[in-house]
Amino acid sequence: MIRVDRQNVPAPAILLRSKGSKAEREFKAAAEFYSNYERNRQRGGFDFKLYRHSSVRKALHELFHGKCAYCETPLTTGPGDIEMYRPKSGVIADDGTHLPLHYWWLINEWSNLYLSCADCNRLSFRGSGDTKTRSGKGGRFPLKDEKLRAHPLDPIETLGDEQPLLLDPCNDDVETILLFSDDGLVSSKDIRGLTTIEILGLNRPGLVEARRSTARIVQMLLQTLQGYAGGSESDGFAQTIVTQLKEMMSPTAAYAGMCRQLVNAALAGLPSSEAAMLGNATALLGLRRRQTSRSEQRAAKVALTQFQSERESYSLEDDGEQGTTAYLRAGSRFVERIKAQNLRAISKLDLNVADTAGQAPWLMLLGENAAGKSTMLQALVLALVGDRYRNQLIDSLGLEPRTMVKAGASFGEISVKLSGATEPRVLRIYEDGRIETTGREAQLMLAAYGSTRLLPRRDGPKHQGTNYARVENLFDPFIPLVDAQEWLLEASPAEFDYAAIAIKKALAVDLDRQLVKRSGEVGLTEQGKFTPLARLCDGYQTVIALIADILSLVLPAWKTPELAQGLVLIDEVGNHLHPSWKLRFVESMRLILPGMQVVATTHEPLCLRGLRHGEVAVLRKGPRGGVKLVADLPPIEGLRVDQILTSEHFGLASTLDPSLQARFDRYYLLLRKKTPTQTESAEIVSLRAEINNAQQLGNNERERRLLDAIDRFLARRPELTAADIARGEEMLDDELSEIWSEAALLSGSAQ
């Protein structure tokens, strides 16, 4: 991050408010909307348009030199986001109060607009293995003291008194607050710097690696330059190096802030006699001799580690309102990695959650029955809830955790790494039923649902749960979802309106239609006609009940569905849904609750619509027992349903005939044998002919040889490791190329 002088680029004319201008008309329309906000709340936010004008984007690109204003990543793969330093759609204050009117009146203020990459602006989740990092400013805008928060319509000139904890590249001395090291990491001793690093994710793995690579170039150039220190000032090569360094520190260069600090430290660390030997280099670089000492760097890194540790030192189960406030302040808590061993059919499993940008990550688990999908969900719940709630679940529901331990094992274990956590949460269940846990408990809001999600009955059991989790339905199908109508009737006006937006989005109805309370019922109105929710079909009511169940848990803390964060677990997500809803379930949930992570299971290919590559994991039972994770799944986007069914995701050989599938299974079983008997060899030939005839494949010798090679590889793949699969694919490619070349050679000879 570097300091940028906003005066270098004038405000675009489209944003200037004058009598009768577009900016003035839009401001007045927005002012009218927000002056009657409670009446308009169900319509969502005001639709501002002018800030998206091409002239605004062009001016921001010029002002910030085509880089993200925060992390200085060049925006080469897209136009970047037009970001509001003070968010436009409301904020949650430090005490948990929702301020929906902040800061709409600044939406078209030139001094509030910035150019940002998606990772700094939107909710994102980046990295791999143990180094995933959450990032994304979203609607967060913390202050040093909440009492200093501005009031709606306060002029922007007075907002400096707010004392934001998020650094402003156009107003703060960011180049002295943020301290970069040559390993690409950034740290700070200043609470503003620490908060900025955490909110924007400035130490996300890909960004750190990009800075590290740039730092290596800087160090190499500096070392080379010192080698020319005794040469002539007019030495062309030395001047070339100086020019390169100047370019890397220029406002247009990537990670210029880090480069300036590294060069400054190198020059300041030299004795005066050696620095003088560089001739004009210091003057050309335009730097004062200032050095950040190693002790300062260490202190900043210690401060960052301590800051991160303090952010997770809460429990939603034990700390009451203080725990909730700390949770809101801590930001996103996503499941980023799950390791399981000796849990029922699972001997050992390691699941990584895919990278995402702009939305919370999803994970859809596929697999045959008894492959361990439901076990993973139940183990996740028992690990993530607090000890007191887990013991309550075990006692009230009659759970026997020891039955989750794999037969013959002394214990079963699940380890869950949450983003932003310094250590994983580990649950170990012993064969005698004892349970041990390590790591922080109750770090996120959690809702979990089983494959049967019943609507409530008047005389039946009621939904249960705690202030931060509701998971009973995952273990007991007779515990129903929340009574949506009863909850809506009792909800506060704000909760009712925000829930109404979510329900209307789920039902794909116009936001201008009103959800209202009338004579003890809740329903939608259109042209004076009132349709109670209770009269909708059971499928719609189930969808509404699921959404209401989640919202009734998260809205008391997060206030709006758009801001809500947490984890939702759903077993057999396609149950109770019409095919049309299965197709749009993922997209609808992401639209309604963009910050909620979902881990679900399904046998329905329609439910994979809306997922991205890497958001599906397949658990497959091996031919000798045990469960493995299928490696190298193809991208799910764009596949037809029949293609999904016959891909590695579901593994069907055919969507046409079950008997053909049985022949495929027998065929692959025989191919796996290293030394089949004479009878088995004859059966292989017979099965191959039957399969080829049924699917009209292998019409000539070349096709038959190609298919034979492919089938031998597919038959062995379930038993192979990921590394063996990669080697096997290379060998298969070589064999197919050889067959193809032989066929081409024979074809040429025949001519």
pLDDT, one tens digit per residue, over 429-484 is: 999 999 999 999 999 999 999 999 988 887 767 768 899 999 999 999 999 999 99
DSSP class of 67 = B
- Which range (163-177, 626-640, 725-739) has the least confidence? 725-739
Asked if residues 4 and 251 have their Cβ atoms less than 8 Å apart, the reply is yes
* Predicted pLDDT of residue 698: 56
Tell me the pLDDT of the chain averaged across its residues: 86
Average pLDDT of the segment spanning 610-633: 85
Residue 392 token pair: 């309550």
The predicted structure's pLDDT at residue 485: 92
Higher pLDDT, residue 193 or 644: 193
Q: Which of 169, 187, 166 is nearest to 178 (CA)?
A: 187
CB contact set of 737 (below 8 Å; sequence gap of 6+): none
Helix (H/G/I), strand (E/B), else coil: 530: strand
Q: Do 707 and 697 contact (CB within 8 A), yes or no? A: yes
Q: Grade residue 289 by pLDDT with cuts at 50, 70 and 90.
A: very low
Rounded to whole angstroms, what are the CA distances from 272 to 266, 290, 294, 342? 12, 13, 19, 64
The Cα angle at residue 150 between residues 147 and 153, in degrees rounded to 5 = 155
Q: Residues 75, 68: contact at Cβ < 8 Å?
A: yes
Most confident of 56-60, 357-361, 590-594: 56-60
What's the burial of 608, exposed, middle or buried (CB within 10 Å: 0-12/13-18/19+)?
buried
Q: What percent of the chain has pLDDT over 70?
A: 88
Residue 402 has pLDDT above 80, yes or no: yes
Q: At 740, is the pLDDT very low, low, confident or very high (cuts 50, 70, 90)?
A: low
CA 276 to chain centre: 51
Mean pLDDT of 567-572: 96
pLDDT exceeds cutoff 90 at 140:
no
Question: Nearest-CA neighbor of 546 among 467, 446, 610, 454?
Answer: 454
How high is the pLDDT of residue 706?
Answer: 74
Residue 645's CB is within 10 A of a number of other CB atoms, namely 16
More confident position, 535 or 104: 104
**Residue 555, C-beta contacts closer than 8 angstroms, at least 6 positions apart:** 491, 495, 498, 499, 561, 564
Beta strand 596-601 with 362-367 is parallel
The one-letter code for the residue type at 409 is A
Tell me the three state secondary structure of residue 312.
Answer: coil
Tell me: pLDDT of 129 over 50.
no
Which range is most confident: 364-368, 376-380, 417-421? Answer: 376-380
For residue 71, the model assigns a pLDDT of 96
Of the candidates 435, 427, 424, the one whose C-alpha atom is nearest the C-alpha of residue 312 is 424
Structure tokens at 545: 């009940």
Residue 179 or residue 311, greater confidence: 179
Contact 573, 616 (CB under 8 A): no
Dist CA 465 CA 586 (whole Å) = 25
Rounded Cα distance between 27 and 109, Å, is 11
In this predicted structure, what is the pLDDT of residue 629?
87
Tell me the mean pLDDT in the region 323-327.
87
Distance CA 641, CA 608 (A): 9
pLDDT at 645: 80
CA–CA separation, 263 and 434 (whole Å): 58
The structure tokens listed for 302 are: 């210690």
**How do beta strands 113-116 and 98-99 pair?**
unpaired
What pLDDT was estimated at residue 270?
Answer: 63
pLDDT above 70 for 235? no
Q: With contact defined as beta carbons under 8 Å apart, do 32 and 101 qualify?
A: no
Residue 283 burial (CB count, 10 A)? 10
pLDDT band at residue 413 under the 50/70/90 scheme: very high
Check residue 65 and give its pLDDT: 96
Residue 281, pLDDT score: 47
Q: What dihedral angle (degrees, nearest 10) is formed by the CA atoms of 218, 222, 224, 229?
A: 160
Protein fold of 319-481+567-578+596-604+612-646: Rossmann fold (3.40.50)
Q: What is the β-pairing status of strands 362-367 and 356-357?
A: unpaired
The full set of domain ranges for the chain reads 6-172, 209-309, 319-481+567-578+596-604+612-646, 483-564, 658-746
H-type alpha helices, 520-657: 538-558, 579-592, 641-646
The H or E element that residue 299 is part of is: helix 294-311
SS3 179: strand
Distance CA 581, CA 105 (A): 38
Residue 6 in this model has a pLDDT that exceeds 80:
yes
Q: Residue holding tokens 């037969």?
A: 407
3-class state of residue 127 by DSSP: coil
pLDDT of 655 reads 63
95-118: average pLDDT: 91
Question: Beta partners for 413?
Answer: 341, 428
Q: Could you identify the residue written with the tokens 């994970």?
A: 363
Buried b (16+ CB within 10 A) or exposed e, 568-584: bbbbbbbbbbeeebbbb
Q: Kindly tell me the burial class for residue 54, based on how many C-beta atoms sit within 10 Å of its own C-beta (0-12, 13-18, 19 or more).
A: exposed
pLDDT digits (tens, 9 = 90+) for 350-363: 998 876 666 788 99
Tokens of 729: 């694919």
**88-101: average pLDDT:** 85
- Phi, psi of 48, deg, nearest 5: -75, 140
Predicted confidence at residue 471, as pLDDT, reads: 96
pLDDT at 213 over 70: yes
Q: How many CB atoms lie within 10 A of CB 180?
A: 25
pLDDT at 651 (0 to 100) = 72
The pLDDT of residue 700 is 63
pLDDT tens string 505-554:
888 888 778 889 998 999 988 878 888 888 888 778 888 999 999 999 99
Q: Are 454 and 398 in contact (CB under 8 A)?
A: no
- 598: enclosing H helix or E strand: strand 596-601
Least-confidence region, from 28-37, 76-85, 138-147, 273-282:
273-282
Listed in sequence order, the DSSP H helices in 717-751 are: 722-750
Percent of the chain with pLDDT over 90: 49
Question: Residue 284 — very low, low, confident or very high, per pLDDT cuts 50/70/90?
Answer: very low
